[in-house]
Amino acid sequence: MPYINSIMFLPELILTIGTLFILTVSTFLKNISFKFSFNASILLLVFSLYSVTFDIDTNLFNYDNFFDNGAFIDFIKILILFGTLVFFLFSEEYFYDLNLDKFEIPILILFSVLGMMIMISCNNLISMYLGIELQSLSLYILASINKKSIKSTEAGLKYFILGALSSGILLYGCSLIYGFTGALNFQEIELKLSVLPQLDLGLIFGLVFIIVSLAFKVSAVPFHMWTPDVYEGSPTPITAFFAIVTKIVAVGLLIRFLILPFGQFVDDWSQIIIFLSISSMILGALAAMTQNNINRLLAYSSIGHIGYMLIGLATGAETGIRGIIIYLCIYLFMNAAVFTILLSIKINGKYIENIKSFAGLSKKYPIISFIISIMMFSMAGIPPFAGFFSKFYIFISALESKLVFLAIIGVLSSVVAAFYYIRIVKIIYFDDGLDNFEVILNFRRKLIIFISTIFIAFFIIAPSYIIDTAQELSKTIF
Amino acid sequence: MIYLIVFLPLLGFLFSSIIGNKLNNKFSQYITSGFLILSAFFSWIIFYKFLINKENIDLIMINWINSGDFKVDWAIRIDALSIIMLMVVSNISALIHIYSIGYMSKDPSIPRFMGYLSLFTFFMLALVTSNNLLQLFFGWEGVGLASYLLIGFWHHKETANNAAIKAFIVNRIGDFSFVIGIVGIYFIFGTLEFDEIFNQVDLYKESQFNFVGIEISTLNFLCTLLFIGAMGKSAQIGLHVWLPDAMEGPTPVSALIHAATMVTAGVFMVARMSPLFISANTASNIIILIGALTAIFAALIALTQNDIKKVIAYSTCSQLGYMFVAAGVGAYNAAIFHLTTHAFFKALLFLSAGSVIHALGNEQNMQKMGGLAKKIPITASMMWIGSLAIIGFPFLSGYYSKESIIESAYFANTSFGNLAYYVGIITSGLTAFYSWRLIFLTFYGKNRSEQDLFNKAHESPLVMIFPLILLSFGSIFVGVVCYDLFIGNNSINFWGNSIIVIEKYSNHMPFTQLLLGKLFISIGIILATVFYFYRNDLPKKLSTKYNYLYNILINKFYFDFIYNKIFVISSHNLGKLLWKQGDEKTIDGFGPDGLSKVIDKLSLIAGRFQTGYLYHYAFVMLIGLVGFLTWYLYV
C-alpha cells in the first residue's frame, strides 16, 4: 500500500527531492550556480510533467485524506507545470540583464510550484492552508527579489503584508468551519453539511472568510488592490509567473473548495461570486483604460479575465466549469505569448514599460507586430481567435443557468475592454515612433511564441478536442 | 497522399509568403510550382487507383464543429466527381504556375503573386474535396478572397482595385443567397453532409411550405437559392458583371480564374448537389433558362469587344452557360465533361493571349495588333488549336463535350430544352465568329501596332511555351480519351453515386439537326473570314449602319450602366445620408461619443482608487469582507 500511495504522490515527490538536490548542489557551485539551477529546473519540470501523466486515475484518499487525486487535479497540475516551464524558457536572459542571476530564483519558483501542487490536490483545510502558505512565502520573496529597485521592494512588502492579512482571514474561516462542523476533511465537511437544511450563520461566515481569502489570491475586486502594484514592481518574468501560473491554481482551488464541500449550497455562495465577478469585469475594463504602464495594464487585464472565469463558477454547473477550463487553457497560451514578446523587445537597451513606446514597431518588425495584434484581438475576444471561444463558452453557460444579466454585463465590459487591447494595436501600426527597437528572440522564445500563436490563431479549426476534454474534466468534479 | 494533394498548395503559399521575401524570387517560384507539380502528380496516382478500385473514400481529418445535433467535419471526399475536379484543378494550376514564372519574371513582388496563386488553388481543392456544405462554403469564400487578392494584385492601378472590389461584392450577392440555401438545407434536412442529405431527398420531394399565402415547393426553393449562389461564382447573366473586369489582374490569374477554379465552382456545386436538383423541376428550368440566356448574350457581346482578354472572358461566360444548360436538363455528366475540356482549351486560349500580350509589351487592344503570325508562330498555332477546340471542330475535345450538351438538350424534349437547343446552336455559330475574328485581328492582316513594337515582338521563353504545348495536347485529346468514361457506355459505372447519371438515349439525333449545328459553325467562320480577312472595311460600315445595335453590344447591353445608376449611386446616396444624419449626428452623438466620455471619467475614478498606500488597500479588503458579512446577516 505505501508503494501505491507514493506513486500517486509522484510528481510532488519528484519535485521536492529534485528541488532539494538542486539547492544543495547550487550552493557549492560558484559562477555557474544560476545556469545550473536554471537548466536543472527545466529538466525537473519536464520530469514532473511526465510523471503527472503517470498518475493512476483513482479517487482513493492518501496520507490520511490530506490529499486527493483525479482528472481535474491532474489537469490543473499539468497547466501549472506547463506554465512554469514556459516561465523558465523565456526568462533566462532577463535575469542576466538585470544582474539577477541568483540561483535562489529557480529554487523559489520550484518551491512555490510545489505549494501550488499541494494547494490543488489538498483535501483538507490544513493541507490547503499549508499549500497556500508554501506558495505565497516563495512568491513574497520573488516579488522583492530585485533589491536594487525600490519598486520591487515595495511590491514585495505590500504583497507580504496584504498576504498575511488574507492568511489570517483564511485561518479564521477555517476555524469557524471546523468549529461548526467538527471536521477538517473536505468529504467529512460535506457529509456533515448534507444533513443541514440550510447553512448556519457561523458556517456562512466561515465560508465568506475563506472565499475572501481565495479571492485575494485570484485578485478579484475588491481584493485586487495589490495586483497592479505588485505586477508593476516585480521583475517582468516574475509578473508573468504571477499572471499565468498562480491565477490558474487559485481558480482551480476555488472551484474545488466551492464545488466539493459546499456543492449543495450553490445558492448561498454564488451571490458572492456573482458580486466578485461583476465588479472584477467592470473594474478590469475601466481602470485599464488610463494605464500607460504595460504591466499595470496586464494586471487589470488579468483582473478582468478572472471576472469572466468567475461567471462560470457562479453558475455552479458543469457547463460553467467547462467554460472555465477552456478559458484557463486559452488564457495560459495568450499570456505566455504576450509576456514572451514583452521580454524580447528592448528600446535603447531597456525593457519596454510604457505602451506608447510600441509606436512604430510594425515598420521594423512586422511579424512580431502581427503576432501581438493577434494576441490583443484574442484577449479582446474577437473571432476567429481563441479568446472569442473562451468568452463564448462562459457566456453560454451563464445563459443556460439563467444568469442573463451576468452575460450581458460580461459582453458590455468586454466591449469596453476591447478598447485598450486594440489601442495597443493602433499604437503599433499607426503611431509614429522611433525605430531604435531591438527584438531578441532565441530559439526557446521563438518556440513559445510559435506554439501559442498557432494555438490562438487556429483554435477555430479544431476546437472540439479541447472542448470535449473540458467537458470530461468538468464531469469529474461533481 | 490525398492530404498532400490538398495541402501542398497551402504549404507553398505559407513558404512563399513567410520566407519568400527574404530569399530570392527563384525560391518562391520553384517551391510553389514544385509543390503544385507534386500535387498534380499525386492526383494522377489517385485517379489511377480510383479507376482500378472504384471505391469512394471519405477521409475525416478533424471534427470541426460539434454542437448539439450540428456536426461538421474537415474531410476529404474522394469520388468520381471530386477526383475529376482534383485532376483538372491541380494539373491546370500547376501549368499556370510554371507559366507564371516566365510571365511575371519582371514583377517586383513575385513571392506574393506565387503565394496567392497557390492559396487560390488550395481553397479550390478544399472546395471540391468537401463532404459537407460548410467546408464547401469555406472553400467557396476562400476562392472569393483569393480572387480579390489576385485581381487587385497590381494595387497601384485604380482600375485593378475597383475590379477586385467589384468581383468581391458581386460574388457577395450570390453568396448571400447561397448561405440562405445552406441554412435552409440544414433546417429541412438537419445535416450538412452530402450523403445524409441525399438519403433524405425522397422524403421531401412533395414537401411544400407556405410563404405569405403562396405554396412553394421546398426543394425548388432551396435549389433556386443554391443556384443563385452558383450564378455569382460562375458569372451567369445578371451577376456576370465582375468577370470581364476581372481581366485587370495579371493574365495567369485570368487563366486560373476562368479555366480551372472559381467560375467552375458553381457548376461543380450544382453537379455535387445533383440528387437535389434532379428532383427540383422548376429550379432546373430556371437553370436552363439562365444558362441559355447567358450563353447567347455573352457570345453577342464578345462579337464587338476589342480587348483580347475580354473577348475570351465573355466566351468563358458563354461556355459556362452551356454547362448550366447541361446541368439544367439533367445531363450533369455532360456539364462536368464540358467543364473539363473547357478548362484545357480556355487555359490554352488565355495563356496564348498572355503570350501575345507579352510579345507586344502589354498591348491588349486587338485593333492595334495584326500580322503577328509570322513573328510568333508557336503562339499563333496554339491559339488556332484553342479556337478549333472551343468551336467544337470535329475530334477536338470541345467537339465531344459541346455536342453532348446540345444532344442532351435536344433529347430533353421539354419546351425549355428545345429553347436551349436552338440557342445552343446559334451560340456555337457566334462562338465560331468571335474566335475567328480574334485570330484574324491578332495574327493576320496588316500590322496596326507601332512599328518598333512589332519589330521587337518575339516568341515567349520556353518556360511559357511549354505549358502551352501541354495544354494544347489536352485541348486536342481530352475529349477523345475521356468520352467513353464521362458520357459514353462506361459512364454509369464510372460516376457511381457521385452524381446522377441519366440513362443514355439509344437513338441518334436526326441527320438534318446534326447538319444544322455544323452549318451555323461554318457560317460563323465564313463570315468572320469575309469580315476580317478579305473585306476589312465591312465591319466599320456595318457598325455605322446599324449604329444602335452596335452600341448595345459594345456597351455590353448597358448592364454596368444600369447597375451603376440603380444600385451604386442610390446606395451611395443612402449611405451618405445615414452616415451624416443618422450615424454622426444621432448615434455617435448620443452613443459612442457620449458614452466614451462617461467611461473616460469612470476610468479616471477607478484609477484613482489605486492610491499606493498600504492601509488603503487593507481597508478596501476589510470593507469588502465586512460588506459580504453584512449582506448575509440581512438576507
| CA B66 – CA A233 distance, rounded (Å) | 45
pLDDT mean across residues, chain A? 89
- Digit-coded pLDDT (tens) for A335-346: 999 999 999 988
| CA A276 – CA A286 distance, rounded (Å) | 15
pLDDT (0 to 100) of residue A357: 86
Distance from CA of A99 to the nearest CA of B (A): 27
- Digit-coded pLDDT (tens) for B56-115: 888 888 878 777 778 888 888 888 888 889 999 999 999 999 998 888 888 888 888 888
Say if the Cβ atoms of B64 and A165 lie within 8 Å.
no
Say if the Cβ atoms of B628 and A228 lie within 8 Å.
no
Distance from CA of A182 to the nearest CA of B (A): 22
* Burial grade of A64 (CB within 10 A; 0-12, 13-18, 19 or more): exposed
**Cβ(A418)–Cβ(A382) under 8 Å?**
yes
Q: What average pLDDT does this structure show over A444-450? A: 91
Distance from CA of A114 to the nearest CA of B (A): 28
Distance from CA of B583 to the nearest CA of A (A): 19
Query: Which residue in chain A is spatially nearest to B609 when comparing CA positions?
Result: A225
Distance from CA of B629 to the nearest CA of A (A): 7
Say if the Cβ atoms of B633 and A201 lie within 8 Å.
yes
- Digit-coded pLDDT (tens) for B382-401: 999 999 888 888 888 888 88
Instruction: Give the H or E element holding residue A464.
Output: helix A464-477
Determine the residue among A165, A232, A289, A458 to mutate to test chain B binding: the one whose Cβ has the most chain B Cβ atoms within 10 Å.
Answer: A289
Distance from CA of A29 to the nearest CA of B (A): 40
Instruction: Give the C-alpha distances (Å, rounded to integers) separating A350 from A89, A344, A368, B577.
Output: 20, 10, 18, 51
Contact of A225 with chain B, judged by CB distance below 8 Å, is answered with: yes
Task: Report helix, strand or coil for B241.
Answer: coil
- Digit-coded pLDDT (tens) for B325-337: 999 888 888 899 9
User: pLDDT at residue B125 above 80?
Assistant: yes
Contact of A422 with chain B, judged by CB distance below 8 Å, is answered with: no
- Digit-coded pLDDT (tens) for A93-104: 888 888 888 888
Per DSSP, chain A holds a count of helices (H) and strands (E) of: 21, 3
Distance from CA of B89 to the nearest CA of A (A): 24
Distance from CA of A176 to the nearest CA of B (A): 14
User: pLDDT at residue A5 above 70?
Assistant: no
Q: What average pLDDT does this structure show over B534-544? A: 74
Contacts of A205 in chain B (CB under 8 A): 629, 632
Task: Report helix, strand or coil for B460.
Answer: coil
- Digit-coded pLDDT (tens) for A9-58: 778 888 999 999 999 999 888 888 888 899 999 999 998 888 887 655 55
What is the pTM (predicted TM-score) of this model?
0.70
Determine the residue among B19, B112, B619, B625 to mutate to test chain A binding: the one whose Cβ has the most chain A Cβ atoms within 10 Å.
Answer: B625
pLDDT (0 to 100) of residue A56: 56
User: pLDDT at residue A240 above 90?
Assistant: yes
Q: What average pLDDT does this structure show over B108-137? A: 89
Nearest to B64 among A166, A228, A462 (CB): A462
pLDDT (0 to 100) of residue B506: 59
Contacts of B603 in chain A (CB under 8 A): 286-290
Contact of A47 with chain B, judged by CB distance below 8 Å, is answered with: no
When pLDDT is cut at 50, 70 and 90, the band that residue A4 belongs to is low
Say if the Cβ atoms of B633 and A226 lie within 8 Å.
no
pLDDT (0 to 100) of residue A55: 56
User: pLDDT at residue A1 above 70?
Assistant: no
User: pLDDT at residue A60 above 60?
Assistant: no
| pLDDT above 90 as % of chain A | 51
pLDDT (0 to 100) of residue A2: 47
DSSP for residue B260: I
Say if the Cβ atoms of A416 and B599 lie within 8 Å.
yes
Contacts of B633 in chain A (CB under 8 A): 201
pLDDT (0 to 100) of residue B60: 83
Distance of CA A224 to the CA centre of its chain: 14
Nearest to B621 among A165, A229, A283 (CB): A165
B538 vs A28, which has greater pLDDT? A28
When pLDDT is cut at 50, 70 and 90, the band that residue B156 belongs to is confident
- Digit-coded pLDDT (tens) for B11-63: 888 888 888 777 777 888 888 899 999 999 999 998 888 888 877 888 888 87
Contact of A137 with chain B, judged by CB distance below 8 Å, is answered with: no
Say if the Cβ atoms of A287 and B610 lie within 8 Å.
yes
Q: What average pLDDT does this structure show over A107-127? A: 92
Phi and psi angles of residue B396, each rounded to the nearest 5 degrees, phi first: -85, 170
Task: Report helix, strand or coil for A185.
Answer: strand
pLDDT (0 to 100) of residue A63: 62
Determine the residue among A212, A225, A265 to mutate to test chain B binding: the one whose Cβ has the most chain B Cβ atoms within 10 Å.
Answer: A225
Query: Which residue in chain A is spatially nearest to B633 when comparing CA positions?
Result: A201
pLDDT (0 to 100) of residue A62: 55
Say if the Cβ atoms of A461 and B74 lie within 8 Å.
yes
- Digit-coded pLDDT (tens) for A74-98: 899 999 999 999 999 988 888 888 8
Residue whose C-alpha is closest to residue A394's, from A468, A311, A335, A469: A311
ipTM of this predicted structure: 0.89
Q: Give DSSP secondary structure letters for B418-438.
A: HHHHHHHHHHHHHHHHHHHHH
Contact of A158 with chain B, judged by CB distance below 8 Å, is answered with: yes
Contacts of B623 in chain A (CB under 8 A): 222
Beta-carbon count within 10 A of A161 CB: 16
pLDDT (0 to 100) of residue A173: 94
User: pLDDT at residue A307 above 90?
Assistant: yes
- Count CA atoms within 13 Å of residue B334 on its CB side: 26
pLDDT (0 to 100) of residue A327: 94
pLDDT mean across residues, chain B? 84
With a CB cutoff of 8 Å and minimum separation 6, the contacts of A347 are: A357, A434, A436, A437, A438
When pLDDT is cut at 50, 70 and 90, the band that residue B217 belongs to is confident
A128 vs B557, which has greater pLDDT? A128
pLDDT (0 to 100) of residue B592: 67
Determine the residue among A154, A161, A290 to mutate to test chain B binding: the one whose Cβ has the most chain B Cβ atoms within 10 Å.
Answer: A290
- Digit-coded pLDDT (tens) for A139-198: 999 999 988 888 899 999 999 999 999 999 999 999 999 999 999 989 889 889 888 888
Beta-carbon count within 10 A of B533 CB: 15
Say if the Cβ atoms of A208 and B628 lie within 8 Å.
yes
Q: What average pLDDT does this structure show over A213-235? A: 91
- Digit-coded pLDDT (tens) for A390-411: 999 999 999 999 889 999 999 9
When pLDDT is cut at 50, 70 and 90, the band that residue A377 belongs to is very high
User: pLDDT at residue B609 above 60?
Assistant: yes
User: pLDDT at residue A332 above 90?
Assistant: yes
